[in-house]
Amino acid sequence: MLRSLRIRNFRNLVDLKIGQLGRVNLFTGRNNSGKTTLLEAVYLMLGFGHPIAAPQINAFRGLDDDLGMSPIVVQDIAWRPMFYNLDTSGEIILSAEHSSLGSLELTVSLGQPTTIELKTAQSSLPPGASVSLKDLLFLFRRDGEPLVSNYLHVAPDKMQFNRLDASPPFSTVFLSTRSGGVQGDAEWFGKLQVRKQADTVVDALKIVEPRLQNLEANPASGTPMLWGDIGLSELVPLPVMGEGMTRAARLMLAICATPGGVVLIDEIETGLHHSILPKVWQSVDAAAKNFDTQVIATTHSYECLEAACQALGAEDFRLHRLEAGKGQTSEERKIRCVTYEPDEIHAAIHHNFEVR
């Protein structure tokens, strides 16, 4: 489990330090305070040096590295915004302390390409573009020792990087407000069925839909998806039951399907009515403990924050707030993290705690 984080020179975070991470973590703060950026930084670092994590975090924001675009355009709209103040002369440094793996650190920089592109008549590269193009360079360290050195090179029709033979020691899942799909949900559920652990998800979803008796991963529609038994003459596709049902299922499936790993959830309250949020938090907490999964979530909702504090004990729950300092210099205005002690949480909520 991650115990602490430090994020330097990544998007709008110049130097953010976060301590006292718990099993379940909830981050609040105003728009543009860096909540989604924090999740992206964790996801990027827990790629353990795999370059594919870089285009993935852009895809979470709806910004795909379209291979139909010029590599120069990809570099300008996808890669440069990863660096603080668009300054690509420095390094992104993402570091953490892990309970069993020790210190982890990933550095990302733009450097000289390992692969040179030569312009041909069919190439989308303009004359001289091979001189200005750079690669994203990745160096991952554990306890100070370099473990993975890799690069990401974008050519007009493909991405290139070195194959990694070793798998990460644990999985990381990122749930954005737009991520997920019915086929992926069915695959997750199927794996849980094989391990005889699917009942955990079904029981949690009964909070949202009390009529639910069972779930089934079925390809009857041509695409594998989840179908639910709610006492009708036939099973009903899960998406038909509503956005809240789909979102709740995706939350529980992600936690249960990532044992020993980390699940990152952006705007966890999306699609969920405030009246069921306390029970949803209870289910999240129970699943996280049962599957040894760490949850790091964000919210814009005061009701979501209040529900979490109402439903969860202080043992594993941590409340954090990202906020910009007030002052004249960039150092004084940089975004910082305030972590509330257990005995401070309820007092903070009842004294105009701002989440938007």
- Report all structural domains of the chain as residue ranges with CATH numbers, in order of start: 47-163 (no CATH), 173-349 (3.40.50.300)
Can you give the pLDDT at residue 186?
Answer: 93
Can you give the pLDDT at residue 213?
Answer: 95
Q: Side chain identity at 199, as an amino acid letter?
A: D
pLDDT in tens, the chain (356 residues): 999 999 999 999 999 999 999 999 999 998 888 999 999 999 999 999 999 999 999 888 877 655 556 777 788 888 999 999 999 999 999 999 999 999 999 999 999 887 666 655 555 555 554 446 789 999 999 999 999 999 999 877 788 899 888 889 999 999 998 767 889 999 999 999 999 999 999 999 998 899 999 999 988 878 899 999 999 999 999 989 988 899 999 999 999 999 999 999 999 999 899 999 999 999 999 999 999 999 999 998 989 998 998 888 766 789 999 998 877 777 778 999 999 877 777 776 766 566 55
**Measuring CA to CA, how many Å separate 63 from each of 67, 74, 87, 217, 264?**
12, 10, 20, 30, 19
Q: In what order do the strands lie in the sheet with 172-175?
A: 172-175, 262-265, 294-298, 24-28, 317-324, 335-340
Q: In what order do the strands lie in the sheet with 236-237?
A: 214-218, 225-229, 236-237
| d(C-alpha 44, C-alpha 54), whole Å | 6
| d(C-alpha 9, C-alpha 20), whole Å | 22
Contacts of 338 (CB under 8 A, 6+ apart): 320, 321, 323
| d(C-alpha 354, C-alpha 338), whole Å | 13
